[in-house]
Structure 1
């Protein structure tokens, strides 16, 4: 996807059609309403053919003349109107900024604000995305940046009136900060890497960057710095679309594995854009419970799994997109049986540069999980 005037015009048109539909209902003395695909867990499906989570076909109607829905309806219309202003003015803000734009009183004689907490506005932004078929980035709403990259490629960033070319192989120790929107006015060119390696923790990313791992291996090195934000997941998807294999290197516990699965299949809360942010072809190179048997030094470096770790592992065993893989069932059951886990940092035990050897060996031997 590429940004530009066409996207802005399309977004403006959809927002205006949304508002005009409500005005037409009022003019015709009908109950103003709009329809949205239901974002409940029961309406989230695993697309077996394409390998990602998506929304099903269940719909729900949001109307104004409904005591249970009136406030949410009004709040959604307020968000749409404000986003229309942002697009027309060609100004961007964060979802936090939008909340403050709308955190004001309904009137002098009404002791109530449009929004009191951001937890009220966030799900309504998602409702609007689903109802109009527009990603929030096209409505000029960004999230906080999260994620860093280094590697053999260039980024063309059209920012304001400038066209900036960024060589992500020349960003030093800090790397290139991945923006929340990697579609509009951003282009990835001159991609010369052989593969993408996604490293859960920033500390391990820094270790590999200092070693020049991505230079030696001709790779693109990414850290989502924990759970991957949607901008980072979208970037991984775009790189996979260019034919690059994607390998993920996370902690050997249910949380690290869950982060992997959100990259691979998308997540339930973002199932409405699953096709755009999931990378089903991604493979998990570690850390795994099987590594404990393969690398003797790890036997003394395990940690005790917490109750939260155990609960998450049990939940993951119930997900059909995970328990269809016998390798993953074995890994999760091993956690439940031994109540142990491994951090990826343990691979620095023999020597700091062992992490490099571990990744090389895993990829060379195709020793990874689906």
Structure 2
């Protein structure tokens, strides 16, 4: 669906929300919006799409309480803002939307968490994306480097063809917030797989060592917890170019969740898992077993780390023998390790030994 078509459809679906609220009021009912509960207990594995989605548990945002009534009032203001932006071909960041509400009187948001939550609610109800609402994130997307040919349409509507190795600097091609086909066409690649890397330091190490060229890889810097555009672009590379995806992170509970968001989908965006997640993505980040087998330098787990690991043992996305064993071993060791800990064995060790060994185990390369 073209961008303007998606925007038009978004307005249509948002208008139906206003109609539904009006109809409830006209019938003398207390208006409400019914939404899936966004909790770990309400995400279910969908065998058809191989991703985690919200289950059948529902909650209501109702005007019976002041908090619910304010939410519905803010929804009306937000619907008007979105329609105005689409009609005038404007967009705003989520942060700007929060500050715009300062002009809404009593309906203004008290924190950006409230405005972000409403944007997510509207996505769930309409089954549209916030990008279709002309709402964009504050953070930028990731960087990618490697033999990938794309055609990008700039803000003036002109198309520019470039190669993400030959036509970019050492920092790679910066992925924009909108990565749909009307913005970026993926034309071809000489790569054999995608390596999604958590930290900038390790991304730079692989680039400097020429890992992308030597092993025919596309390197993606996730920038920590990856932005939605990053996950979407990785998914497109997997589906359209048939490239295996591997995720290379630090060895701690927060990094495990980075992998989970790429492969399974994040809990807060489970309504978009089918759009963002790459279920076939493999994890080759630092594990508790690596800490032992490679005798890596480590740090002690914090109390917060321990709580996070115990929570992951109850998280359905980590309900496999591999993850249970690795999480339990990390708790037993009471240690965590960074990707850069591999530098103990020299700056070339990660690209000449560690990653080739891991990729060979997955059948993606031969040393």
TM-score for both structures, normalised by structure 1: 0.89
Secondary structure at the counterpart of residue 15 of structure 1:
helix
Secondary structure at the counterpart of residue 103 of structure 1:
helix
Deviations 1:168-194 (A, max 9, x none): 112111111222221252222223311
**Match runs of 1:1-370 below 5 Å:** 3-26=2-25, 31-48=30-47, 50-64=49-63, 66-106=65-105, 112=106, 114-143=108-137, 144-160=139-155, 161-169=157-165, 170-183=167-180, 185-242=183-240, 243-295=242-294, 298-299=295-296, 301-323=297-319, 325-357=320-352, 358-366=354-362
The structural deviation recorded for 1:337 is 1.0
Aligned mates of 1:336, 1:138 — CA distance in 2: 43
Aligned mates of 1:330, 1:220 — CA distance in 2: 30
Aligned mates of 1:136, 1:18 — CA distance in 2: 15
The structural deviation recorded for 1:23 is 4.1
Aligned mates of 2:361, 2:57 — CA distance in 1: 44
Aligned mates of 1:51, 1:355 — CA distance in 2: 31
Aligned mates of 1:59, 1:292 — CA distance in 2: 42
Structure 1's 23 and 113: CA in aligned 2 closer, same or farther, altered over 3 A?
closer
Contact 1:3 1:185 in 2 (8 A): no
Deviates more, 1:56-65 or 1:261-270: 56-65
The structural deviation recorded for 1:241 is 0.8
RMSD, aligned α-carbons: 2.2
**Structure 2: tracts of 5 or more residues without a match:** none
Structure 1's 317 and 29: CA in aligned 2 closer, same or farther, altered over 3 A?
closer
Contact 1:64 1:74 in 2 (8 A): no
**Structure 1: tracts of 5 or more residues without a match:** 107-111
Aligned mates of 2:31, 2:154 — CA distance in 1: 39
The structural deviation recorded for 1:26 is 4.8
Structure 1's 26 and 275: CA in aligned 2 closer, same or farther, altered over 3 A?
same
The structural deviation recorded for 1:251 is 0.9
Structure 1's 308 and 76: CA in aligned 2 closer, same or farther, altered over 3 A?
same
Deviates more, 1:162-171 or 1:279-288: 162-171
